Homo-oligomer: A and B are copies of this chain.
Amino acid sequence: MSHNTFGHLFRVTTWGESHGAAIGCVVDGCPPNLPLDEAYVQGFLDKRKPGTSRFVTQRKEPDEVRILSGVFADDRTDGQVTTGTPISMMIENVDQRSKDYSEIRDRYRPGHADYAYDQKYGIRDYRGGGRSSARETAMRVAAGAVARRVLGDGITIRGAVIQIGPHMIDPENWDWDETGKNPFWCPDAKTAAQWESFLDETRKAGSSAGAIVEVHASGVPAGWGAPIYGKLDSELASAMMSINAAKGVEIGAGFAAASYSGEENADEMRMGNEGVRFLSNNNGGVAGGISTGQDVVVRVAIKPTSSILSQTRSVTRDGDEVDVRTKGRHDPCVGIRAVPVAKAMMACVLADAKLRHHGQMG
């Protein structure tokens, strides 16, 4: 219900503004006795970190996470483990350049949340985007690390960028290993090279580019999720659409399914060695809102970073027409850093689905 909370049994609440004292989250409902320490969470955070290549923002955010509650270790536990009580995690904000914000406090940057926040609340912490900053997604990644402990080793979550600007990958070239070898999480080496020059130009032009992110979860057993409004795909749609700059979500064949015939779209079934085997996965691992045992496949459309150097027409808080340029150290393609975030959201949604399934089914 709470605006800053998601999940039902595995429940994540985040708080904090980009340039406030800190950002943080509380993960409630986590089962006890799962191994969890700061190093483990930090490993996930480091993958989302700014400054790792010239294609992401050059801001320095050490993003050192502290776990403040919900874990315990003594000489009887096998390292630090969860206790079943709420897990509070926090990252102090350190790279807050004390600069002059007078410009953005009065001018609405097109594509940003500035205008909408002011219309709603009549006040906002405009420093660095405040609550609407993508910095908040660090806490999703931290929560996602906990979610993976809930899911266990049997479930693998992988993510890739499959389109940047107008350039899509060639699915024929898909190689998961490739995603770790380039700064774009690109599964197609050839396309990665293309993106490199495309994004260099984009960056030099002070412009930005959109992207499509794809996430797969393997090993999800059949039966998670539930009709009608707690459908697994419905929960995924909500979670993914809540990511900053997300404008579209699709499951399996997604929008392409609209052009298919019933025969093309049917995921036919045969018996395999380990039970039912599907001959295709247009449903993206979900039927009737419930997992089928196939890979859960989600794609998210990320719009181009709204902060661009080019001059755009806008208005001020007082209703004067102005031209706006957003200087600063921005991501030329925010979709790249969305990969660990989308994977974390997948992990959280699945962890919640797992606990809810156990709730009803024992």
Contact = CB atoms under 8 A, between A and B. Distances in A.
A266 interface: yes
Given A3-B230, A227-B4, A70 B119 contact: no
Contacts of A166: 259
A9 B258 contact: no
Contacts of A121: 32-33, 83-84, 361
A123 to B, nearest CB: 5
Interface residues of A, number: 156
Nearest to A161: B258
Interface in A244-288: 246-271, 275-276, 279, 282-284, 286-288
Interface string A41-64: 000000000000000000000000
A130 B250 CA distance: 26
A1 B226 CA distance: 11
Given A15-B70, A259-B163, A288-B132, A242 B234 contact: yes
Contacts of A187: none
Contacts of A250: 247-249, 255, 301
A313 interface: yes
Contacts of A9: 1, 9, 356, 359-360
In this complex, the member of A124, A165, A258, A292 whose beta carbon has the largest number of chain B beta carbons within 10 angstroms is A258
A39 to B, nearest CB: 16
B227 A234 contact: no
Contacts of A131: 83, 85, 227-228
Nearest to A356: B359
A249 B241 contact: yes
Contact of A32 (B30, B72, B122, B231): B122
Given A111-B265, A113-B289, A362 B31 contact: yes
Contacts of A230: 2-4
Interface stretch (A176-184, A188-196, A208-216): A208-216
Q: Oligomeric state, in number of copies?
A: 4
A155 interface: no
A173 interface: no
Contact of A115 (B210, B247, B292): B292
28 contacts: A2-B230, A4-B26, A4-B85, A4-B230, A15-B86, A24-B68, A33-B123, A83-B124, A83-B125, A84-B121, A85-B125, A120-B222, A120-B224, A120-B357, A121-B361, A163-B259, A165-B258, A210-B260, A229-B242, A234-B241, A234-B242, A248-B250, A249-B249, A253-B303, A260-B303, A262-B306, A262-B307, A271-B319
